[in-house]
Amino acid sequence: MGKTLFDKIWDKHVVEKIQDGPSVLYIDTHFIHEVTSPQAFKGIENRGVELFRPKQTIATADHNVPTLNQHLPIKDELSRMQVEQLINNCQKHGVELYGLGHPYQGIVHVIGPELGITQPGTTIVCGDSHTSTHGAFGAIAFGIGTSEVEMVFASQCVLQTKPKTMRININGELQKGVVSKDIILYIIAQISASGATGYFVEYAGTTIKALSMEARMTICNMSIEMGARGGMIAPDETTFNYIRGRAFAPKTAVWEEHKQAWKKLYSDADAKFDAEIHINAADIQPMITYGTNPGLGIAINGNIPVVENITDEGEQRNIEKALQYMGLKSGASLIGIPVQHVFIGSCTNSRIEDLREVAALVKGKKKHDQIKVMIVPGSQQVAKQVHAEGLDRIFAEAGFQIRQAGCSACLGMNEDKIPAGEYCISTSNRNFEGRQGAGARTLLASPLTAAAAAITGVVTDVREMM
């Protein structure tokens, strides 16, 4: 029987399988950031051992950094100490750090791919659940906890139980105004926030094949929001063209050799998946969430479910509670609801293509008076590109604020927060209670839908502006 893409990479990286237990899985690339690494460094020091393969760990500061005045010392003392500790730890243990002020600094899941560190056929982990992003390159990439960060420090391995595999096939052409963020929000709304728990997902089909690398990353990024361990896409010419020439991509002399090996990374025609789902791209509309988990999403022109019609009692309670938090009504449409904030950023949608899409839509227009718009590029390199392409002028004319690279209002760890009770259309990946600040109300959507609301001041079907 043939093998899945996942199996091909997994099997190659198993050092050994513990009897009746997990496998010792070898990790090629380990990303770390300031929030989930300090306790792991401390753990290793307490054991009195050195990092086993420090050159295979790459660090950046992203979660807890300010996105204004990054050249000044960080004001918040705890944040500053955490970032300083990362600097010290990296120096002490010989780990490469792209910290504040470095031209490569940025959100860990944006910089890995843009530097060409993320490569097909590899295993990649990071103490961050959205590590699934890197799967877009045909890698096994998943988030780990701090104890596991310590495992990688100690041995370049983690103990993992092999997950089940699921393939999600998406075929056909997307409607106008529908982008990759809508695809993944649609899938999660279909199968729920726990629908893929225990699985590693492969996305396949003609719709996926036609997407750019950045669009593919947006999809793999949110795999975790349906509970999946990770998501992946078989590499193809789009992948190879994206990687070629990047700072850490294989050099010209060995490029062909790598490419030939990568070309073998696909699920065999007779490979069996534990679950398989089929989706017709034409069914997908621009999406928006109304609740407090990413599975509570609807087509922008649809209605919030009528609570009384939900048969599952637990689900009914959930949605009731979510609507209460969100200040929204059962059965209502979201179109026309006033929004106070637009956040365009995060490891889901802060890459140059996202910002180009936004710029193309808002060019020559002005934001609505009542709305604050924050654009947070995913990395210093994206910010530089925004400038080089003159997108910053379009944003400035529209009245959008451009900030510096970091996670920012995606998780509200730094001062970029949404005030209690106010609505924010956000291009990030989580709408949990308080995620963007205590009491903040998050509506997840694509960069296009977010940009449309920035102009009109209310939830808008972007297709009416195209």
Partner 1 sequence: MKALQKIQSRFVPMPMENIDTDQIIPARFLKATTRDGFGKNLFRDWRYENNDETKPKADFPLNQSQYSGEILVAGKNFGCGSSREHAAWSLLDYGFNAVVSSFFADIFKNNALNNGVLPVTVSDAFLQKIFEQGNDATISIDIAAQTITIDATGNQESFELNPYKKTCLLNGYDDIDFLLSKRDTIAQFEMNLK
Residue 429 in the binding site for ligand SF4 (CB under 6 A): yes
Among 47, 75, 278, 329, binds partner 1 (CB under 8 A): 47
Closest by CA position to 310, among listed 327, 294, 323: 323
Task: Please say which residue, 319 or 444, places its beta carbon nearer to ligand SF4.
Answer: 444
Collect all residues with Cβ–Cβ distance below 8 Å to 206 and sequence separation of at least 6: 170, 171, 172
The dihedral of CA 75, 77, 80, 82: what is its sign? negative
Within its chain, how far is the Cα of 51 from the centroid? 28
- Chain positions 87 to 116 lying near ligand SF4, rule: CB under 6 A, are 107, 109
Task: Please say which residue, 40 or 323, places its beta carbon nearer to ligand SF4.
Answer: 40
Closest by CA position to 345, among listed 412, 421, 438: 412
Residue 83 in the binding site for ligand SF4 (CB under 6 A): no
**CA–CA dist 238, 138 (Å, integer):** 12
Least separation in angstroms between CB 360 and ligand SF4 = 23
**CA–CA dist 31, 360 (Å, integer):** 33
> 230 with 141: CB under 8 angstroms?
yes
SS3 4: coil
Least separation in angstroms between CB 430 and ligand SF4 = 7
**CA–CA dist 288, 363 (Å, integer):** 23
Task: Please say which residue, 107 or 184, places its beta carbon nearer to ligand SF4.
Answer: 107
One-character DSSP codes across 238-291:
HHHHHHTTSTTSPPHHHHHHHHHHHTT-S--TT---SEEEEEEGGG---EEE-S
Task: Please say which residue, 114 or 461, places its beta carbon nearer to ligand SF4.
Answer: 114
Residue 181 interacts, among ligand SF4, partner 1, none and using kind-specific CB cut-offs from 5 to 8 Å, with none
Among 59, 166, 342, 347, binds ligand SF4 (CB under 6 A): 347
* Sheet of strand 140-143: strand arrangement: 96-98, 57-60, 29-32, 123-126, 140-143
- Chain positions 202 to 221 lying near ligand SF4, rule: CB under 6 A, are none
Residue 26 interacts, among ligand SF4, partner 1, none and using kind-specific CB cut-offs from 5 to 8 Å, with partner 1
Residue 438 in the binding site for partner 1 (CB under 8 A): yes
Among 30, 63, 134, 367, binds ligand SF4 (CB under 6 A): 63
Instruction: Tell me which amino acid residue 421 is.
Output: G
Least separation in angstroms between CB 358 and ligand SF4 = 17
Task: Please say which residue, 429 or 456, places its beta carbon nearer to ligand SF4.
Answer: 429
Task: Please say which residue, 36 or 449, places its beta carbon nearer to ligand SF4.
Answer: 36
Task: Please say which residue, 107 or 204, places its beta carbon nearer to ligand SF4.
Answer: 107
Residue 347 interacts, among ligand SF4, partner 1, none and using kind-specific CB cut-offs from 5 to 8 Å, with ligand SF4
**CA–CA dist 367, 400 (Å, integer):** 7
Residue 150 in the binding site for partner 1 (CB under 8 A): yes
- Chain positions 211 to 230 lying near partner 1, rule: CB under 8 A, are 227, 229
> 319 with 296: CB under 8 angstroms?
yes
Residue 428 in the binding site for ligand SF4 (CB under 6 A): yes
> 172 with 207: CB under 8 angstroms?
yes
x/- site string to partner 1, residues 285 to 324, per CB under 8 A? Answer: --------x--------------------xx-xx--x---
Residue 22 in the binding site for partner 1 (CB under 8 A): yes
Q: Which two tokens stand for residue 188?
A: 């999660």
Residue 349 in the binding site for ligand SF4 (CB under 6 A): no
Least separation in angstroms between CB 268 and partner 1 = 22
Residue 314 interacts, among partner 1, ligand SF4, none and using kind-specific CB cut-offs from 5 to 8 Å, with partner 1
Residue 255 interacts, among ligand SF4, partner 1, none and using kind-specific CB cut-offs from 5 to 8 Å, with none
Phi first, then psi: what are they for 455, rounded to 5°? Answer: -80, -45
Residue identified by tokens 């297709």 is 463
Residues that bind ligand SF4 (CB under 6 A): 62-63, 107, 109, 128, 130, 346-347, 407, 410-411, 428-429
